[in-house]
A and B are shown apart, each in its own frame.
Chain A
Amino acid sequence: MTDLSPPAALDRDRIRELFDLRSSYNSFSGGDYTDDPYPVWHELRARAAVHEGTVHRLTGYPGEAMFQGLPFPDRPHFSVFGFEACDAAFRDSETFASSPVAINPIGDDVGVMNSMLSMGGDQHRRYRALVQPSFVPAKAKWWIVNWIQETVQDLVDRIAGDGRAELNTDFCAAIPVLTITGSFGVPVDQALVIRESLRDPAAVVRILAPIVAARRESPSDDLISVLVQAELKEADGTTHTLSDAEIYSFAILLLTAGSGTTWKQMGITLTALLQRPEVLAAVREDRTLLKACVEESVRWLPTDPMFSRHVTRDVDFYGTTLPKGSVLHMCLGAAGRDPERWDRPDEFDPYRPLKRSLGFGGGPHICLGMHLARAEITTGINALLDRLPNLRLDPDAEQPRYVGLYERGATEIPVLFG
């Protein structure tokens, strides 16, 4: 353990730069997009089941935006916007594969593209099964008690006396990165170094290597210990433990997914509540309503609104022939507002009947960390409501807006309390 508590070790300006969606770090995925894409997406969904082109081009974004499944400039691209088509593609992972090539995680290449994110079929199932037990709903308490609760309380301590705060970067952004790095045993002062280095796997490996070595010697109650002790069943029935390279790729995937998404969904949920004071008041009174608010936020404005698959055989898909080798983009943001599945789809309404959206993806690759994300968002918002009386948007500050194309989130969330 380090004796640096999160508030002391996390430099506020550095967090801002790393997490502000409009900063250069995030322009990569269309962070400078400021329009509301939903009217265009409604139009596209109504016009045809399958469109030729990428989601960003069809949405009218003039630049090049990157995400999983892009750019692949030499391949044909198609996009779907309806719930049914997105769901069908997610579920048929043989026709719609996560990678254009087979994945060999044993080799020396370390990174997300060499992790289970890109695997398919039986290989994906075997790797995912190693970590799934650490991410089931029943493990939420393990995460909360060991890593989430203390971070959340420390962050509230830092602002509780001020009467005002900017919650997006000063609160939401820090929680997931500290949770996932904490679960790896990475000291707090190195958490931001990791966040900064995610596109440079070698730098992350330098931080992780001594931890992996230490856990191989002496396992403890954390995620790296789970990975070093995991036994992978091969297709032929033999088992082997994970190599260092496999563990690093696993860890980088979990870090990328864990530190980049949940905080934005937390900010989206918070903004939706703060902009609807009657809903916020209802949640304050009855915290069980918070679950429905989180689910509704994931449907209504998922932070990652698009995922992609590689077409493995010529296939007729909703009336369009997709050639083998093409890329299919599923706009799950648009799918979450499909009027075929939801009444008044553009309304944020936590009282609607609970029903699955595709905000966490779908099919066998559905988000591994979704119950952890729910736990982080719920613990964070509950702590704010418990400790910051009369929490409300600051009427004199610039109001929060949703920005970003492939990584969406709120700008700033200026609040008053007390």
Chain B
Amino acid sequence: MAGQGLVTVDQTLCVGSGMCIVYAPESFDHDEHAKVVALDPMGDPLDAISTAVEACPTGALRLVPQEQEA
């Protein structure tokens, strides 16, 4: 499971398509204006989260490079 800080969200780019929620429903949600919110903790496997980030049609989500664990 991933923690906070894995994905950055830019609500000004978000159109509320909900594509992220299709692929990572336990990690993303919408506020009442249908703008994306990243949940903490993110409840999906990392590959589902990166599928969701790639799926965003307006580039509102970015994966934050994580430091490798020793």
Footprint of B on A, CB under 8 Å?
90-91, 125, 128-129, 132-133, 135-138, 295, 353-356, 362-364, 366, 370-371
Contact = CB atoms under 8 A, between A and B. Distances in A.
A363 B17 CA distance: 10
A91 B16 contact: no
7 contacts: A91-B57, A128-B15, A129-B34, A133-B16, A135-B18, A366-B19, A370-B17
B30 A138 contact: yes
A128 B15 CA distance: 8
Given A353-B51, A370-B18, 19 more contacts: A90-B57, A129-B16, A133-B30, A133-B33, A133-B34, A136-B21, A136-B34, A353-B47, A354-B48, A354-B51, A356-B23, A356-B51, A356-B55, A362-B57, A364-B15, A366-B15, A370-B17, A371-B18, A371-B22
Contacts of B54: 355-356
A356 B19 contact: yes
Contact of B17 (A353, A354, A366): A366
Contacts of A355: 51, 54-55
Contacts of A362: 57
Nearest to A140: B18
A129 B11 CA distance: 12
B15 A132 contact: yes
B6 to A, nearest CB: 19
Interface in B17-70: 17-19, 21-23, 25, 29-30, 32-34, 47-48, 51, 54-55, 57-59
Contacts of B55: 355-356
Nearest to B54: A356
A370 B23 CA distance: 14
B57 A125 contact: no
Q: Which of B16, B23, B55: most chain A Cβ within 10 A? A: B16
A29 B17 CA distance: 27
B58 A364 contact: yes
Contacts of B59: 91
B44 to A, nearest CB: 11
B22 A363 contact: no
Contacts of A138: 29-30
B57 A363 contact: yes
A57 B18 CA distance: 35
Contacts of A129: 15-16, 33-34
Nearest to B55: A356
Contact of A137 (B15, B21, B32): B21
Contacts of B19: 356, 366
Contact of B15 (A125, A295, A354): A125
Query: Shortest 9 CB-CB distances between A and B: which pairs?
Result: A356-B55, A132-B16, A132-B34, A366-B57, A133-B34, A137-B21, A137-B18, A366-B17, A136-B30
B25 to A, nearest CB: 7
Nearest to A131: B34
Contacts of A371: 18, 22
Contact of A364 (B21, B32, B47, B57): B57
Contact of B22 (A128, A137, A364): A137
Contacts of A132: 15-17, 34
Q: Which of B17, B18, B25: most chain A Cβ within 10 A? A: B17
Contacts of A370: 17-18
A245 B64 CA distance: 45
Contacts of A363: 57-58
B19 to A, nearest CB: 7
Contacts of B25: 137
B11 to A, nearest CB: 11
